[in-house]
Amino acid sequence: MRGRRTKTPAVALTDLGPLAQLKAGRLGRRIPQLIAGLVLYGFSLALMVRGALGLAPWDVLHYGLTLHLPITIGQAIIAMSFVVLLLWIPLREKPGVGTVANAIVVGLAADATLAVLGPVDGLIVRIALLVAGVVLNGFATALYIGSQLGRGPRDGLMTGLSRVTGRSLRLVRTALEVAVVIAGMLLGGVAGAGTILYALAIGPLAQAMLPWVIVDLDPPAAL
């Protein structure tokens, strides 16, 4: 008889408070993974900006703000991150190390990339930048979520509203993204094919890649 193969149990995401996140161990793996994910996230957003075929929903708003304020898109990302964090207070969401890092690092990485990567010509090149940006953003999302060091500001707003209203995460996310796209377009932000591609692809991409990079925590902290 052939021996049965035993499946390795899937590593699960845990919902820990800020201190428990730090006490959960494996920080030598988790913190570098968090930072790598956030830097890659900012880099991927910059690729979409240079692709100029439509930005991610929140970045339509961020770009719109740059048209009316003397700030870069990275600075708009940082500023809006802290505005969103204020909305966590009535929702009783708890920020973690990753939450604060997300609010700062993504914007800095986006601006640094845009400083090096100038505008590009040619539709084929722009499509390539858009597709690369969306795919890399999915991987970046999986990296920072998989580090289990706290949700990003916008993710926490989504989960908090879902919990308070009793609505599904999908419905809340869709409503939020439609709202920010409309607000961004009213400010002059750029929406297009890339916006639709991002909205349709980012969830499945991140979900498919998350099992590759999710970090298993020390058992005592996961209880």
Amino acid code (one letter) for 51: G
In a domain, 32, yes or no: yes
In a domain, 2, yes or no: no
Give the pLDDT of residue 9. 44
Q: How far apart are CA 136 and CA 173, in angstroms?
A: 20
Q: How far apart are CA 39 and CA 198, in angstroms?
A: 18
Is residue 199 within 8 Å of residue 177, measured between CB atoms? Answer: yes
In a domain, 119, yes or no: yes
Whole-model pTM? 0.89
Q: How far apart are CA 64 and CA 32, in angstroms?
A: 32
Give the pLDDT of residue 209. 94
The gap between the terminal CA atoms of the chain, to the nearest Å, is 38
In a domain, 22, yes or no: no
pLDDT tens sequence across 14-39: 777 777 787 877 889 999 999 999 99
Number of domains composing the chain = 1
**Burial class of 92 by CB neighbour count within 10 A (0 to 12, 13 to 18, 19+):** exposed
Give the pLDDT of residue 65. 97
In a domain, 14, yes or no: no
In a domain, 95, yes or no: yes
Q: What is the CA 75 to chain-centroid distance, rounded? A: 16
In a domain, 88, yes or no: yes
The candidate with the shortest Cα–Cα distance to 193, out of 77, 48, 62, is: 48
| Secondary structure letter of residue 25 according to DSSP | S
Residue span of the structural domain in which 64 resides = 27-214
In a domain, 18, yes or no: no
Give the pLDDT of residue 222. 43
Q: How far apart are CA 160 and CA 88, in angstroms?
A: 7
**Residues with pLDDT less than 50, the chain:** 1-9, 221-223
pLDDT tens sequence across 48-69: 999 999 999 999 999 999 999 9
44: tokens are 């991927």
